[in-house]
Amino acid sequence: MSDDVHPRAEHLITAARVEGISPAEREWLDAHLESCARCAERAAALERALASLRSLSIPLDPALVSATQLRVRLRAQGLQEQESRMRGLWVSCALSWFLGALSAPLLWRGFEWVGRRIALPDLAWQTAFLFWWLVPGAAVGAVFAWQRARGSSDNGHAAT
pLDDT by residue (tens digit) across 84-104? Answer: 888 887 888 788 888 888 988
> In this predicted structure, what is the pLDDT of residue 60?
84
Q: Phi and psi dihedrals of 79, rounded to 5?
A: -65, -40
Instruction: Measure the CA angle with vertex 159, ends 154 and 160; round to 5°.
Output: 160
Residue 25 has pLDDT above 80, yes or no: yes
| Side chain identity, residue 93 | C
Do 47 and 106 belong together in one domain? no
> In this predicted structure, what is the pLDDT of residue 96?
83
Do 72 and 138 belong together in one domain? yes
Task: Quote the CA–CA distance of 125 and 87 in Å, as a whole number.
Answer: 35
Domain, as residue range, for 149: 62-156
Residue 3 has pLDDT above 70, yes or no: no
9 sits in which H/E element: helix 5-18
Do 18 and 42 belong together in one domain? yes
Across the chain, what does the average pLDDT equal?
Answer: 86
Whole-model pTM: value is: 0.39
* C-beta separation of 13 from 40 below 8 A: no
Do 91 and 123 belong together in one domain? yes
Which alpha helices (H) appear in 19-61, and where do they start and end?
A: 23-35, 37-55
The structural domain count of the chain equals 2
pLDDT tens-digit readout, 40-73: 999 999 999 988 888 888 888 899 999 999 999 9
* C-beta separation of 6 from 38 below 8 A: yes
CB count within 10 Å of CB 90 equals 10
- 108, burial (CB in 10 Å: exposed 0-12, middle 13-18, buried 19+): middle
Do 142 and 70 belong together in one domain? yes
Do 50 and 102 belong together in one domain? no
Task: Quote the CA–CA distance of 28 and 6 in Å, as a whole number.
Answer: 12
Smallest CA-to-CA distance from 12 within 27, 2, 3, 1 is with: 27
Do 38 and 72 belong together in one domain? no
Mean pLDDT (whole number) for 140-149: 83
Do 49 and 66 belong together in one domain? no
